[in-house]
Chain A
């Protein structure tokens, strides 16, 4: 049942020009940044070669690419998730799902899986870019993979936050702005930690703080659990919010 809803979600995404435009823009921007990093590496290469334990192409190209991709997607994901529930509310199609023998959890999970699969397609395309470097050199596949995992987990969090905000309103634009605001806040929460001094809690809660170690290949289960917890929390909140529709007024 989850797959049915997810499939419908994905199909509707691709039936609108939005999905294609987003894919093209994200891919174009990431490709541009990828070339910039490759160029940077070419400039730095003579100097790096002189260093005994200098950074390799993975450190100079792959990690920054993933980091840039995350920033771009921070702007893009709210636009994909905004219509998930709010548009169904607006078009009054939600009653189709609610009257069907499907639980609220299945509806939310279906929507999450649908939008997350779309995001995975983007991530896959981005992750393929550094793999092209294998034709001309060696890549640290471990770091490549850990960064990819970090990006995927991060995006799962983005999607779940966007989904939750979308359940709160019947206006897609409001959902987009709301989720963008919250994501950006979570992203830069560590600034409060570093400049405020002493407040390590904020730094710890920041989305960015858990992403960077993964980009450098430091695979820590705490970071992974952090992302899974936020994703799970947002999904549970979404289920409750959707269920509260029946009770409200």
Chain B
């Protein structure tokens, strides 16, 4: 039950004119997973989400939601999806209660269960005391919560949230993140964002998409491992002989940085920290600092998505 695949996307491709917005994208999400969808602006996150929710037709590929093909049986598949677009689809002239009631009816919740569904969803999204207020008069944070409430009112198997924490204050962001984690218990959640700590805080799988292509798909644990890079930062009081560092088993390269710092790259299998410390002491280099370096998610993200542009830029500056 727990490893049931709820969303399956196969070879999804979508063009805008001749521009390939999403290119041969395949992935799957299992029940109970919270998948963070990362990518720079224009990477194809929203396009993918719109296709998963049936708002946009793909040019190629297949999307199945809980085993139902969204193109063949759109109605049955859509009943399993809750979707919060980038801009929450709110009727500003309705009150929160009226709006949620409309959503409940739209999602074919039977009349007898409607008020219960509305009550519980208001509870979960912290909308208890704004039920009678006009949506147009609510703050952005509350509007966002109404948007989330709308997406989960029919307890769909799959919840798709497009940048759910944009424009919220830090406290609201924490509440929403907590809510998303909670949703992950019984639903599958796909969440797109540019905010990297958000992914670390809420998701258990990460997917980075760049120029329409999937460039990374890993679990949060796998990502943590990627963050442990194979380099050490060493600060010495006296200049060191680089050759003798390079001769240490496992060291592959040494970069000289400012203030007597050295970055020592090593093979991932061996950790030369002890050997370096020993050499530093015997050679009298005055070892001041020795830290294994950790890359942040941001660095991985930047690394993956901008490696090409960066390479170009660095050659340009070198030429100048």
Q: Which B residues are in CB contact (< 8 Å) with A121?
A: none
Interface residue ranges of B264-288 to A (CB < 8 Å): none
Report the minimal beta-carbon distance from A65 to chain B, rounded to whole angstroms. 34
Chain A nearest CB from B100 CB (Å) reads: 12
**Residues 100-120 of chain A, each 1 if its beta carbon lies under 8 Å from chain B, else 0:** 111100000000000000000
Verify if B238 is at the interface (C-beta below 8 Å from A): no
Interface residues of B in 48-70 (CB under 8 A from A): 50, 53-57
A91: chain B residues at CB < 8 Å are: 89-92
Given that A4-B102, A11-B98, A249-B17 are known contacts, is A99 also in contact with B91, CB under 8 Å in the complex?
no
A97 within 8 A of B: yes
A71 within 8 A of B: no
Contact B105 A4 (CB under 8 A): yes
Which of A11, A94, A101 lies at the interface centre, i.e. has the most chain B CB atoms within 10 A of its CB? A101
Return B99 CB to nearest CB of chain A, in Å.
9
Count of B residues near A, CB < 8 Å? 33
User: Do B79 and A101 have beta carbons less than 8 Å apart?
Assistant: yes
A96 adjacent to chain B (CB < 8 Å): yes
Q: Looking at the complex, which one of B74, B85, B93, B108 makes contact with A95 (CB distance below 8 Å)?
A: B85
Residues of chain A with a CB closer than 8 A to B89's CB? 91-96
- CB-CB < 8 A to B107: which residues of A? 100-101
Query: Is B75 touching A102 in the complex (CB atoms < 8 A)?
Result: yes
Instruction: Please name all residues of chain B whose beta carbon is closer than 8 Å to the beta carbon of A94 when the two chains form the complex.
Output: 89
Is B244's beta carbon under 8 Å from chain A? no
Asked if A48 CB lies within 8 Å of chain B CBs, one says no
Name the B residues within 8 Å of A103 (CB-CB).
74-75
Residue from B56, B57, B106 within 8 A of A4 (CB atoms): B106
Cβ of A25 under 8 Å from chain B: no
* Across-interface contacts of A96 in B (CB, < 8 A): 89, 103, 106, 150
- Cα distance A99–B53 in the bound complex, in angstroms: 6
B45 interfacial by beta-carbon distance below 8 Å: no
Contact with A along B16-34 (1 / 0, CB 8 A): 1100000000000000000
How far apart are the CA atoms of A59 and B103 in the complex, in Å?
49
Residue of B with least CB distance to A5: B106
B301 interface residue per 8 A CB criterion: no
Cβ B55 vs Cβ A99 within 8 A: yes
| A101 to B75 alpha-carbon distance, docked (Å) | 4
A94 to B55, CA, bound (A): 9
B38 CB-CB contact with A under 8 Å: no
Secondary structure of the A contact surface, majority rule: helix
Q: Per a CB cutoff under 8 Å, which of A8, A95, A246 touches B91? A: A8
Interface string of A1-14 (1 = CB under 8 A from B): 10011001001100
Q: Which of B16, B54, B98 contacts A99 (CB 8 A)?
A: B54
Q: Does B166 contact A (CB under 8 A)?
A: no
Q: A12-B94, A16-B93 are in contact. Are A95 and B57 (CB under 8 A)?
A: no
**B78 in contact (CB, < 8 A):** yes
Q: Which residues of A contact B53 (CB under 8 A)?
A: 95, 98-99
Q: Does residue A128 face the partner (Cβ distance < 8 Å to B)?
A: no
On whether the beta carbons of B102 and A92 are closer than 8 Å, the reply is no
Decide if A93 touches B91 in the complex (CB within 8 Å): yes
Bound-state CA distance A92–B143 (Å) is 14
- Confirm or deny: B83 has a beta carbon within 8 angstroms of a beta carbon on chain A: yes
* B81 and A249 contacting across the interface, CB-CB below 8 Å: no
Which residues of the partner chain A approach B85 to less than 8 Å between Cβ atoms? 92, 95
Residue from A5, A16, A99, A246 within 8 A of B78 (CB atoms): A99
A11 to B89, CA, bound (A): 17
- Chain B nearest Cβ from A211, distance in angstroms: 35
* A218 CB to nearest chain B CB (Å): 43
- Is A247 a contact of B57 with CB atoms below 8 Å? yes
Seed contacts A98-B55, A100-B78; 5 additional CB < 8 Å A-B pairs: A98-B53, A100-B107, A101-B75, A101-B107, A246-B56
Using a CB–CB cutoff of 8 Å, the interface residues on chain A facing chain B are: 1, 4-5, 8, 11-12, 15-16, 91-103, 246-247, 249
The 5 closest A-B CB pairs, nearest first, are A96-B89, A101-B79, A93-B89, A99-B83, A4-B105
Show 6 residue pairs from A and B whose CB-CB distance is below 8 angstroms, ordered by the A residue. Answer: A11-B98, A12-B93, A15-B93, A91-B89, A99-B55, A101-B108
